[in-house]
Amino acid sequence: MFISVDMEGISGIVDGSMTGKDQPDYQKGRTLMVSDVNAALEGVLALGEAEIVVCDAHGSMTNIEPEELNRAAALV
Ligand SMILES: [Zn+2]
């Protein structure tokens, strides 16, 4: 399964202050992003999916900290 995720639309992200690297709430936005992805992964794993690839599709594509992502998934 391939999952592409953008910061806009993540639960709890309400404006640009949480999506820009130079913005005050960016770290909170990153935490919310990986939290949503991990929640989705739990659902996917429950279905028995064996291979999962996650693409961080926001901006520079370096928003998700690899160590915070469920280890069942590979991160692009
Ligand atoms: Zn984006």
Calculate how far, in angstroms, residue 30's C-alpha sits from the geometric centre of ligand 1: 12
Is the pLDDT confidence value at 15 over 90? yes
Q: Are 7 and 62 in contact (CB under 8 A)?
A: no
Q: What is the pTM for the complete model shown?
A: 0.94
Per the DSSP assignment, residues forming a β-bridge with 73 are: 52
Calculate how far, in angstroms, residue 9's C-alpha sits from the geometric centre of ligand 1: 9
**φ and ψ at 48, to 5 degrees?**
95, 15
**CA Rg value for the chain:** 12
Query: What tokens does 1 get?
Result: 């399964």
In the chain, what percentage of residues exceed pLDDT 90? 97
Is the pLDDT confidence value at 38 over 90? yes
Is the pLDDT confidence value at 70 over 90? yes
Calculate how far, in angstroms, residue 44's C-alpha sits from the geometric centre of ligand 1: 23
Calculate how far, in angstroms, residue 73's C-alpha sits from the geometric centre of ligand 1: 21
Calculate how far, in angstroms, residue 60's C-alpha sits from the geometric centre of ligand 1: 9
Distance CA 39, CA 34 (A): 8
What number is the average pLDDT over the span 35-48? 96
